[in-house]
């Protein structure tokens, strides 16, 4: 108000106005500002210390809870000698699985080899002890148009071998091994039913909190690999049930999915099976080149999806309708006719073939093979060979002379 009175009643003088504003504003009080700043800093520091203390207590509680959960998971882990522990203890020099693993136990070499040690007793099969608490009832389908879906399995590619049948024909076989396939979760919806299967052993310390809770809820040891398979509602299996190699039958057809071997950057001849250009007639340094990739001014561009050089392999590949030749129930081995995508040691997923459902219906057990107590089952099952030589030429009875008659000259 005083400033307004001066500016309205008297002629505005900038010097007097500067003097008035300078000497009439309140003086600074540094001691009060210091005490106020100190109080604010003390309050902030107290809050920060309190929040740090609360966070530390919360972290300690979480660590204690996780420790208890990890101890529960350790109690669930099988203490018996399994295939995973065999690989860790008997093959310390290399990560490769020995080629002799798929031979019978009587054919194991004696003494110590470079990458292999002999084991006297095979790993203990814990599936029978685990599945005693479950009662599985098998069923059949009378409807010829039914399309049932069963659970699949997770396997490890071991390598390749060969066997001869009674007719002397050689079959190239890929050996797959199961490692404690167990049902982890049943997923049900209004229009969907799925079965989550886990396999392999994993270090408990590497698990995250959601994974720990997931396995504790199922009351099973932690699994390294998990895969969900869509099934029909009548083929649901209980949580904790262990699937074995007897889930499949020799002679049936399956689909195998895996990651193919990566081969880096590949040209069109190797990647897309292009034909090479002429070797002579003026061609120089262009024998494996792509050639023309487009047209002239119209359309004036290269169409999308044109086959060109690029990254080859390391893709998800599904081999359909592959036949099972042999099953080893003791060592959980499955012998497949033909090749399987991936390198030895890679993970593959097995399920019943969708294309060969009619052929498989007579061979499959729904939802799986229900093992009866006290009943003995074959340790090794091999696919039956054909009754007649498949490559023998058909002959007529007139091609051979009848008994008692002389052959004509």
Q: All domains of the chain, ordered by start, with CATH?
A: 147-261+317-380 (2.40.30.10)
Q: Which of 244, 190, 196, 247 is nearest to 367 (CA)?
A: 247
Q: What is the pLDDT of residues 29-47, one digit of tens each?
A: 666 666 666 666 666 666 6
What six digits make up the tokens of 245? 């190699």
Could you count the other beta carbons within 10 Å of the beta carbon of residue 371?
14
| Backbone CA torsion sign across 176, 180, 185, 191 | positive
What six digits make up the tokens of 104? 């019978």
Preceding peptide of 299 cis, ω within 30°: yes
Quote the CA–CA distance of 339 and 322 in Å, as a whole number.
9
| Cβ atoms of residues 341 and 157 within 8 Å | no
Whether residue 1 has pLDDT greater than 60: no
DSSP H helices in 178-306: 209-218, 268-271
Query: Per DSSP, what are the bridge partners of residue 52?
Result: none
pLDDT of residue 251: 93
Q: What is the DSSP string of 312-377?
A: -S-SEEEEEEEEEEEEETTTTEEEEES--SS-TT-EEEEEE-STTHHHHTTT--BSS--PPTT---
Under DSSP, is residue 34 helix (H, G, I), strand (E, B) or coil?
helix
Q: What is the pLDDT of residues 227-271, one digit of tens each?
A: 999 999 999 999 999 999 999 999 999 999 999 999 999 999 999
Quote the CA–CA distance of 265 and 271 in Å, as a whole number.
9
61's enclosing H/E stretch is helix 30-76
| Cβ atoms of residues 347 and 225 within 8 Å | yes
Quote the CA–CA distance of 204 and 83 in Å, as a whole number.
18
**Span 104-108, average pLDDT:** 42
> Model-level pTM?
0.73
Which DSSP letter does residue 308 get?
-
pLDDT of residue 38: 63
Whether residue 138 has pLDDT greater than 70: yes
Tokens 């309140």: give the residue. Answer: 26
Average pLDDT over the chain, rounded to an integer: 80
Q: What is the pLDDT of residues 363-408, one digit of tens each?
A: 999 999 988 877 888 889 999 988 888 877 776 667 666 666 655 5
pLDDT of residue 234: 92
């Amino acid at each position: 108000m005083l400033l307004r009175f001066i500016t309205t009643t008297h002629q505005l003088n900038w010097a007097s106005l500067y003097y008035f504003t300078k000497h009439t504003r309140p003086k600074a009080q540094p001691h009060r500002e210091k005490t106020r700043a100190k109080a604010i800093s003390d309050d902030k520091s107290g809050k920060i210390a309190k929040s740090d203390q609360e966070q530390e207590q919360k972290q300690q509680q979480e660590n204690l809870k996780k420790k208890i959960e990890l101890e529960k998971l350790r109690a669930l882990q099988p203490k018996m000698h399994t295939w995973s522990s065999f690989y860790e203890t008997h093959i310390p020099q290399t990560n490769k699985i020995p080629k002799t693993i798929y031979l019978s136990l009587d054919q194991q070499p004696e003494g110590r080899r470079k990458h292999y040690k002999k084991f006297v007793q095979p790993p203990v099969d814990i599936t029978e002890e685990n599945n005693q608490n479950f009662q599985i009832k098998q069923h059949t389908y009378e409807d010829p148009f039914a399309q049932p879906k069963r659970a699949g399995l997770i396997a490890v590619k071991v390598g390749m071998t060969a066997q001869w049948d009674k007719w002397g024909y050689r079959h190239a076989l890929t050996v797959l091994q199961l490692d404690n396939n167990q049902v982890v979760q049943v997923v049900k919806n209004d229009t969907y039913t799925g079965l989550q299967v886990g396999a392999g052993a994993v270090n408990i310390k590497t698990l995250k909190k959601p994974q720990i809770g997931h396995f504790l809820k199922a009351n099973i040891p932690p699994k390294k690999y998990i895969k969900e398979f869509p099934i029909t509602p009548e083929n649901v299996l209980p949580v904790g049930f262990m699937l074995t190699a007897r889930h499949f039958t020799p002679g049936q057809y399956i689909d195998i999915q895996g990651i193919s071997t990566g081969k880096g950057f590949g040209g069109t001849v190797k990647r897309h099976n292009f034909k090479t250009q002429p070797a002579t007639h003026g061609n120089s340094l262009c024998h494996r080149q792509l050639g023309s990739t487009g047209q002239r001014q119209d359309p004036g561009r290269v169409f999308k999806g044109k086959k060109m050089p690029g990254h080859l392999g390391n893709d998800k590949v599904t081999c359909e309708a592959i036949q099972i030749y042999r099953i080893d129930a003791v060592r959980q081995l499955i012998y497949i006719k033909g090749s399987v995508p991936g390198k030895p040691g890679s993970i593959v997923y097995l399920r019943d073939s969708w294309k060969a459902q009619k052929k498989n219906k007579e061979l499959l057990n729904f939802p799986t093979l229900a093992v009866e107590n006290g009943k003995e089952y074959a340790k090794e099952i091999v696919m039956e060979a054909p009754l007649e030589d498949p490559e023998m030429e058909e002959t007529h009875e007139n091609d051979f002379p009848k008994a008692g008659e002389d052959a004509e000259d």
